[in-house]
Amino acid sequence: MGINRVAIIDGYTDEPAGLGVPPYINVYPRLIAGSLWLADKSIEVFYWTIDEIRRNLSYFIEKARTCDIVVFIVGPEVPGRYIGGIPISYRELEHLTYLTRQSTRILVGPAARYGLGMGGGTIAVDRTKLKMLFDEVVTGDPELFFYEVAINGLEKTEPCRLRGNYDLANIAFLKGSRIILQHPNYGWNLVVEIETYRGCPRWITGGCSFCIEPCYGRPIMRKPEDIVREVEALYRVGARHFRIGRQPDILAYMSQEIGEKEFPRPNPYMLKRLFHGIRSVAPGLRILHIDNVNPGTIAYNPRESVEALKTIVKYHSPGDVAALGIETFDEKVVKANNLKVYPDEALEAIRIINKIGSSRGWSGLPHLLPGINLLYGLPGETRETYYVNIEYLKKILEEKLMIRRVNVRKVSVLEGTPLWLYRSKVRSLIRKYDSLYRWYRIRVMKEFDRKMLRRIVPPGTIIRYLYLEKHYAGYTIARQPASYPITVKIHGIYSLKKVVDIRVRSTASKSVVGSIIAS
């Protein structure tokens, strides 16, 4: 089959390691476009986000009908709420696959491997149901599949091949960098997600019960120079905001103990090569952030972790967040789900990050703060779990520590994870404690979130470099292009896509009210 035109529909992805909901663009569009252009530079590749399609469906269908292949990137596997976009729903998938039935329809992304996550507290739509909608479901790596399709045709291509190294992916990342020019957030608040490695270092013990990362097996690392070259290519086409977020633990990057220890020692030297290299090739970047940090790595390797965190703080941008996969402070739940750390270890990791990252930078925000996820519906959970978690949040307040955000979520059960075998039990737990969960979320917002946000950005704080993103209920919403940015509500309706600095007037639980500082 000859390929002349390909349409990519970005239905958005949210994984334990990697985000692709606007303003973020994940790795999949770049790998798909790059591998196609590597095979044949004459192939036309069109990129649409699902939100663009919702706004102008008829135009999209008109263009898609001229394409040989329509690729659907799907996989909101982690429960979340988003300001920048709404992930594609199963009903929309049904509708769009029907409307594009004259083309070859291909599913890629996390949903192809683990089913379609439907939000917290739900069981994913399994792959058997998804396969009925598509001509091909790619459970392997997209660059291997699409490069082969372009060379040999669909019939001769194996859809489940996984990379054993990054040789082809590194080239595809470079070739595909210009696909970001077609993203609707390009030129203002687009944040490019950068992959350093795939797979969880804790795969040797099975990893967390709900997580998809251990399913990849032994982690495969990208060399610092390959990542730096990718950032340079993206920078040359206009990217200015980067998140080194596509890995389960940035501190484990290039550790020499991966495969030997559950919590391998950080390698500060290699982290310095990576971050210094990025700064060298992208001197005018505005945002350089991270995402996931395993609190167990810090608890078991405090000395090396401190050195690694200092390296990150030296080269990154302030306002950064180390998302700690703590999940719970209930020891019974930790044990039942093979989670990363026990409560006291989690607290120690929070203390260490605060010690290194609490000073403020040019943006007006602390350099690096921890973020916490608290998941509910996990095996081992009881009513006591909710009260234990509240007590530990109180300890954090009493110790005057700072936490950028606490995400309270119900677990999403994905096909292929250990938790999939216990999905009936999870469903039962979620139903059993539903009213307690709703009470608890409100209590956390009132008693913890509000106080913590006021601690981080008290009234009078100046926050710099925010983009005006959208209008809502008489306000203009502004955020930094960052990891877990603070939402700022500004009274009045202002022109969007502009950069502003603001002064904080008051704080709520999840947002602040601010006023624009005249330049």
Give the pLDDT confidence of 451-492 residue by residue, as tens digits. 999 999 999 999 999 999 999 999 999 999 999 999 999 999
Mean pLDDT computed over 19-37? 98
What integer pLDDT is reported at residue 353 of this predicted model? 99
Mean pLDDT computed over 100-123? 89
* Distance of alpha carbon 172 from alpha carbon 140, whole angstroms: 15
pLDDT of 78 strictly over 90 = no
pLDDT of 359 strictly over 80 = yes
What integer pLDDT is reported at residue 387 of this predicted model? 97
What integer pLDDT is reported at residue 131 of this predicted model? 93
pLDDT top residue among 368 and 215: 368
* Distance of alpha carbon 339 from alpha carbon 197, whole angstroms: 21
Mean pLDDT computed over 395-399? 98
pLDDT of 81 strictly over 90 = no
pLDDT of 123 strictly over 90 = no
What rounded mean pLDDT belongs to the chain?
Answer: 96
- The DSSP bridge partners found for residue 287 are 241
Mean pLDDT computed over 9-20? 94
Q: Which ranges of 407-507 would DSSP assign to H, the alpha helix? A: 423-432, 434-444, 450-456
> pLDDT over 70 for what percent of the chain?
100
Sheet with strand 241-246: strands edge to edge:
24-25, 191-195, 241-246, 287-290
The answer to whether 289 and 24 are in contact (CB under 8 A) is: no
What integer pLDDT is reported at residue 25 of this predicted model? 98
Where does the chain hold its CATH 3.40.50 domain(s)?
A: 5-156
* Distance of alpha carbon 461 from alpha carbon 457, whole angstroms: 6
Mean pLDDT computed over 333-360? 98
pLDDT of 332 strictly over 80 = yes
The answer to whether 110 and 416 are in contact (CB under 8 A) is: no
pLDDT of 519 strictly over 90 = no
What integer pLDDT is reported at residue 111 of this predicted model? 94
462-516 CATH choice from 1.20.120, 2.40.50, 2.60.120, 3.90.830: 2.40.50
User: Which has the closest alpha carbon to 313: 377, 361, 247?
Assistant: 361
* Distance of alpha carbon 219 from alpha carbon 204, whole angstroms: 10
Q: Indicate the pLDDT class of residue 58, thresholds 50, 70 and 90.
A: very high
Ramachandran quadrant class, 322 (left: phi over 0; alpha: psi -120 to 50; beta: rest): beta
Q: Indicate the pLDDT class of residue 1, thresholds 50, 70 and 90.
A: low
Q: Indicate the pLDDT class of residue 172, thresholds 50, 70 and 90.
A: very high
Compute CA distances 262 → 105, 296, 301, 466, whole Å: 40, 9, 11, 39
What integer pLDDT is reported at residue 355 of this predicted model? 98
Fold classified for 5-156: Rossmann fold (3.40.50)
Where does the chain hold its CATH 2.40.50 domain(s)?
A: 462-516
The answer to whether 40 and 207 are in contact (CB under 8 A) is: no
What integer pLDDT is reported at residue 407 of this predicted model? 93
Q: How many residues does the chain have?
A: 519
pLDDT of 122 strictly over 90 = no
What type of residue sits at position 344? Answer: D
pTM over 0.85: yes
Grouping H, G, I as helix, E, B as strand and the rest as coil, residue 80 is coil
pLDDT of 121 strictly over 80 = no
User: Which has the closest alpha carbon to 156: 129, 136, 131, 133?
Assistant: 136
pLDDT of 348 strictly over 70 = yes
The answer to whether 86 and 49 are in contact (CB under 8 A) is: no
Q: Indicate the pLDDT class of residue 261, thresholds 50, 70 and 90.
A: very high
What interhelical angle do 167-175 and 27-39 show, nearest 10? 90
pLDDT of 203 strictly over 80 = yes
Quick one: 244 exposed, middle or buried, by C-beta within 10 A (0-12, 13-18, 19+)? buried
pLDDT top residue among 440 and 119: 440
pLDDT of 2 strictly over 90 = no
What integer pLDDT is reported at residue 49 of this predicted model? 98
> pLDDT over 90 for what percent of the chain?
93
pLDDT of 119 strictly over 80 = no
What integer pLDDT is reported at residue 127 of this predicted model? 87
